Amino acid sequence: MNKAVAAFLGRHNFPVHQDINSVIDALLNDMHEGLAGRKADEDMIKTFSNPPEKAVTNKSVIVIDAGGTNFRSCLVSFDETGKPSIDFMEKTKMPGIEKELSRKDFFNQFAENLEHLKDKSSNIGFCFSYPMTITEDGDGVLIGFSKEIKAPEVVGCHIGKELSKALAEHGWKNKVHISLLNDTVAALLAGAADSSSGRKYSSYVGFILGTGMNSAYIQPEDPAYKNLKKQIIVCESGKFNQLISSDFDIAYDKKSAKPGTSLMEKHCSGAYMGPLSFEVIHCAASEGLFSKDFTASLLKLENLTQIEMDSFLHAPYSKASVLGSKAAECATAEDYEKLFDLLDALVERTARLATAILAASVIKSGAGKSSSEPVCLLCDGTSFYKTYKVRSRVEGYLEEVLVKERGLYYEVVEQDNDITYGSAIGGLINC
């Protein structure tokens, strides 16, 4: 790293090389406290479910995937061999992003988005990617929104019950059974359902690093947690707050919809990577880290998206990105190096924190002790797969902290349509 950049980051309390094991230990302690019923950052939500023992066959399920910025809906059908297919897929914006909605308007928009699937199945697998308390009948009570969704009246509602009512009001004839699940549970279920690879896994983890961040794993029975049967646990990892916050993190947090909350998510998920990069660049330019002309150009920036910052990292000398275009006009060779190193430091921190979450989930599962039966880490999200070097760095760090240091084995798995297929399976678990 450029020495001037390292000094700048140090002055602003930014951990250039976050110690992964320290974060793992803090996460494990927080997970333990949550499971034990004591105060914890992560919600440690019980799902009362496990992956099905047999493949789903000859059934159709309506699937809703509502989270981040998009609202997707479709019909998933499983044939006699368990092979799934997708029909009637539609995508629109997630309600509550553009303006604040009342409870009634929020669910009315959901019902309107589902008109093309009216009465095509009596079962709905609803992937609702926000903190919920799952009830034993498969419904979910919303704990709170993340990702800047504005619908405060929905907090505390039984999501499935409210949606069922809205669908009935919109003319649905069939009485529907709605199973709520988190996107990490859907990812986990998709990994558990895929037996085509010829691999055998000792357990499963679902991990999302996209617009937001979260994880789920299978908690085995443990005498430390009375009356807790083996089941999938949703961690709500993005809410973990025991982290070092730099001046940039603090500055952006104050501007967010809910200051002081979900620091893990704000440190490294896609919804915040762009704005956080803007804070870093603006501060660096204001303190004279760059040449005079490039400083003047950067200070004209009004905002920055994750796509733009990532485009620069992938191709710094391309004029196609906002930062690349500005740099091409007046940046020196040292300016290029400094800007690259600043943005790469943010990505490096993301990779280290993601590693800690995945490693903590593997450790907590009690599995992965045999190299021939690793833990399946089904990872999803554009920030994990497309952001500059995140996946490769995460796998490298996992090899160190899990395999070399703890003798635990893992395999990162990518699957097309994982959330959709996993949600369909989830829609049938509690039927």
Judge whether residue 423 has pLDDT over 70: yes
Q: Which of 209-213, 287-291, 301-305 has the lowest mean pLDDT?
A: 209-213
Q: Which residues pair with 213 in a beta bridge?
A: 209
Q: What distance in Å separates the CA atoms of residue 205 and residue 23, rounded to the nearest whole number?
A: 18
Q: What distance in Å separates the CA atoms of residue 402 and residue 355, rounded to the nearest whole number?
A: 10
Tokens of 401: 């902290």
Of the pLDDT bands very low, low, confident and very high (cuts 50, 70, 90), residue 68 is low
Judge whether residue 164 has pLDDT over 90: yes
Count other Cβ atoms within 10 Å, centred on residue 83.
11
Task: Look at residues 312, 311, 389 and name the one whose alpha carbon lies nearest to residue 348.
Answer: 389
Q: Which residues pair with 380 in a beta bridge?
A: 208
pLDDT score, position 397: 98
Query: How many residues are there in the chain?
Result: 431
Q: Which of 18-22, 132-136, 297-301 has the lowest mean pLDDT?
A: 132-136
User: Which residue did the predictor score with more confidence, 6 or 53?
Assistant: 6
Q: What is the mean pLDDT of residues 37-58?
A: 91
Q: What is the mean pLDDT of residues 375-385?
A: 96
Judge whether residue 69 has pLDDT over 80: no
pLDDT score, position 430: 66
Give residue-wise pLDDT tens across range 108-141: 999 999 999 999 999 999 998 787 889 988 999 9
Place of tokens 């430091």: 345
pLDDT score, position 198: 78
Q: What is the mean pLDDT of residues 64-81?
A: 88
Task: Measure Cα distances from 150 to 103, 129, 192, 211, 253 in Å.
Answer: 11, 14, 34, 16, 17
In DSSP notation, 327-374 reads HHHH--HHHHHHHHHHHHHHHHHHHHHHHHHHHHHHHHHT---BTTB-
Burial 276-305, CB ≥16 within 10 A → b, else e: bbbbbbbbbbeeebbeeebbebbeebeebe
User: Which residue did the predictor score with more confidence, 423 or 258?
Assistant: 423
Residue 171 region by backbone torsions, left for phi larger than 0, else alpha for psi between -120 and 50, else beta: left
Q: What distance in Å separates the CA atoms of residue 219 and residue 134, rounded to the nearest whole number?
A: 16
Give residue-wise pLDDT tens across range 31-47: 999 999 999 999 999 99
Proportion of the chain above pLDDT 90, given as a percent: 83
Amino acid letter for position 224: A
Classify residue 94 by its DSSP letter: P
Q: What distance in Å separates the CA atoms of residue 212 and residue 236, rounded to the nearest whole number?
A: 10
Q: Contact 306/68 with Cβ under 8 angstroms?
A: no
Proportion of the chain above pLDDT 70, given as a percent: 98
Of the pLDDT bands very low, low, confident and very high (cuts 50, 70, 90), residue 186 is very high
Of the pLDDT bands very low, low, confident and very high (cuts 50, 70, 90), residue 148 is low
Task: Measure Cα distances from 389 to 50, 310, 394 in Å.
Answer: 33, 10, 9
Q: What is the mean pLDDT of residues 214-242?
A: 95
Give residue-wise pLDDT tens across range 358-370: 999 999 999 999 9
pLDDT score, position 81: 85
pLDDT score, position 265: 94
Q: What distance in Å separates the CA atoms of residue 384 and residue 403, rounded to the nearest whole number?
A: 21
Judge whether residue 147 has pLDDT over 70: no
Task: Look at residues 240, 215, 219, 241 and name the one whose alpha carbon lies nearest to residue 229.
Answer: 219
Of the pLDDT bands very low, low, confident and very high (cuts 50, 70, 90), residue 195 is low
Q: What distance in Å separates the CA atoms of residue 48 and residue 297, rounded to the nearest whole number?
A: 55
Task: Measure Cα distances from 171 to 118, 119, 168, 409 in Å.
Answer: 8, 9, 5, 51
Report the relative pairing of strands 203-209 and 213-219 from DSSP bridges: antiparallel
Classify residue 414 by its DSSP letter: -
Q: What distance in Å separates the CA atoms of residue 420 and residue 416, rounded to the nearest whole number?
A: 9
Judge whether residue 144 has pLDDT over 90: no
User: Average per-residue pLDDT in the chain?
Assistant: 93
pLDDT score, position 152: 87
pLDDT score, position 197: 66
Helices (H) and strands (E) in the chain, counts: 16, 13
Judge whether residue 196 has pLDDT over 80: no
Q: What distance in Å separates the CA atoms of residue 154 and residue 156, rounded to the nearest whole number?
A: 6
Tokens of 110: 């959901």
Binning the chain into helix, strand and coil, the percentages to the nearest 5 are: 45, 20, 40
Q: Which residues pair with 87 in a beta bridge?
A: 75
Judge whether residue 5 has pLDDT over 60: yes
Tokens of 360: 């903590």
Question: pTM to 2 decimals?
Answer: 0.90
